[in-house]
Each structure stands twice: as structure tokens, then as C-alpha cells.
Amino acid sequence: MKDFDCALFDVDGCLVDIRKSYNAAIKRSVKFILKNFNSDGRTLTNRRRTDLVTDKIILKFRQTGGFNNDVDTSYAICLAELAEPHKRIPDARNFLFQVASNSNEEGIASVEKYLATLTSTTRIKNLKRRLGYPAPPGKSVLATIFDELFYGPNLFKKLHNFDPIYYSGKPLIENDKLIITKATANSLARRFKGNLAVVSGRSKLAAEFSLKSIFGYLKPNCSVFLEDEPREFAKPNPYAIIKAMKNMSARTALYVGDASEDLIMVRRAEKKTNLRIAFCGIYGYSSKPLETKVHLANNGADFVIQDINDLPNMLNNISLKK
């Protein structure tokens, strides 16, 4: 493919480094739940270990293709820990790896199914009810604390139209680090004749906040922000990429992402539409860059590069070879 009609981008891990924002929100949300609730919902003062979540565990869940939503990841970890079947396994972190290894593209449904083989379904149902998930902030304690931590009080209220309940400190979104440079954005805008958009699990509010001036390079009516969409359209559902391409009247596209759900979404969209969509994997801002590089390459990425700012040179090299 010498030319593409448009370029579509994931935000997290591609345009923005989230290792100190979203990853931190997962860790702190899980810590809050494990510190304050047991399976009966009672507040506890001396709960066991609450710092068990690592970047490696988060990556393991993301590699399944079913955990683009970081609140889902938080829920899966909380559910696994509170269900307590791992009491038969000395190391709780090893148990979480076991849970992630038995998960798949179905996301939290696959975790619930697996845990139900290790403990009673009644226990799983009670925990789901106590955590109130999946449900939006205001109805789920987990979803509420996660968004309060990530957005902070001002953005939280702007997004949800009510005041935070549990947290009023510094927003973790401020730890986002913009990766893409203006020079890269300019180069890509010229190459794709302005046909740039994002297909992201973020809300529009979060994307605009972290992308700053880069947001102006994107076609707003062609971008899809899945946090603002019904839950059933979440990645790896191909809905978002099909919608973005349709709004740009594109027959071919280059999608740039960093995770399994991005690649699965692209292949499903290709199959459903018979359109050609190339996938470029980014690995440099993963918690395990080399592992992510190998994972994306082995799972069928068309191209794999370290940094979004390498993309213009990669495309130029493709054109020269053609």
C-alpha cells in the first residue's frame, strides 16, 4: 500500500505516555477497594496486602485483547482478590497472572467465568453487586473512584455533572506525557491531506486535555471516543474504526495502536467491510517494550515501530520501496 486515505490513532501508549496516569489509576483504585471493602461490603481497617498491582500484571491483562477499558482491568483484579480462591496459592500476584492467562477477548466476562470455576457463582454475583460494576460513576463505587483519581475534582464534575465523593486531590491525568511532536503531526497532516482522527477508549474531554494543541490536527467529527459511547461498542468491537472511516469516506486506512485489542479491532473491521486497513504497532511506551514488540509482531501487525515520531520516516521508506 503506497497510499492510505486516512490515518487513525489510538491515544494511550501511542500519542500519550500513560504509565504514570492510567496505570497509576488502576493501582490506586484497586488499593482503595481492597483497603475498604470485603466481599460483604463492610469497611475494614486491617485488610491484607493492597499494593499487589504491577505494570506487568496490567500488561498481561491488556495483552488478552479484552481490556482496553482500564476500569475493567481494575474490576478484574478486585474481583479476583476479593473472591479469595487464591488462598490456595501463596503468591497473590502469581494468581493474578493466572487469571489474566485464562482471560480472552471477552474481557471481564471471561474473568468472571474463570473465577466461577474456582469459587461459588453466588460469591461472584455478590461481589459484582457490591462493586456495582459494570455501571457508570455514581452507581459503581469502583467506576466512581477510578474517574475521581484520574480526572480530579474539576474535570470529574465537568464530565459527570456531580461532585466527587471519595477523592479531591491532584488528578492523575496531569501525569500524562505527550509523545507526538508538532513536527510529526504536521508531516502526517500533509501526507494524509488532513485526514487524521483518533479511535480511542478515552473520553473526548480526556483526549483534548492531554493532546493539547495536537488535538487541533484531528478531524473532530471523524474521531471516536469510546468512553462517550455505549459500552457494547468498546474495543475490540470494530464499530469505532468503521464509523471513523465512513465519516472520512475512506476506502483504506492506516491504524496506529499499541495493544492487542487495537489489532483485533482492525482485523474484525477488515473482515466486516472488505476494506484494507493496515495496522502499525507502537511498543516504546509499554511497561515491557521488547515483550510488546514481539507480541505485536507475532500476532500479525503489518508494521512495528518504537515511537509515533518514527512513523513519517517509515511511510517514506515504504513509498520509496514501492
Give rounded-to-5 percent helix, strand, coil for the chain.
55, 10, 35
What CATH number does domain 6-17+176-321 carry, 3.30.43.10, 3.40.50.720, 3.30.300.30, 3.40.50.1000? 3.40.50.1000
What percent of the chain has pLDDT above 70?
92
C-alpha cell at 4: 492510505
pTM for the model: 0.90
What's the whole-number mean pLDDT along residues 158-172?
A: 96
**What are the structural domain ranges in the chain?**
6-17+176-321, 22-173
> Residue 256's beta-bridge partner residues?
9, 280
CB 216 within 8 A of CB 56: no
Cα separation values, 311 from 45, 248, 317, Å: 50, 21, 10
Query: Which tens digits make up the pLDDT trace of 211-251?
Result: 999 999 999 899 999 999 999 999 999 999 999 999 999 99
Query: Which tens digits make up the pLDDT trace of 173-201?
Result: 999 999 999 999 999 999 999 999 999 99
320 pLDDT above the threshold of 60? no
Query: Which tens digits make up the pLDDT trace of 45-90?
Result: 344 555 789 999 999 999 999 999 999 999 999 999 888 765 555 6
Query: Which tens digits make up the pLDDT trace of 293-315?
Result: 999 999 999 999 999 999 999 99
C-alpha cell at 285: 511506551
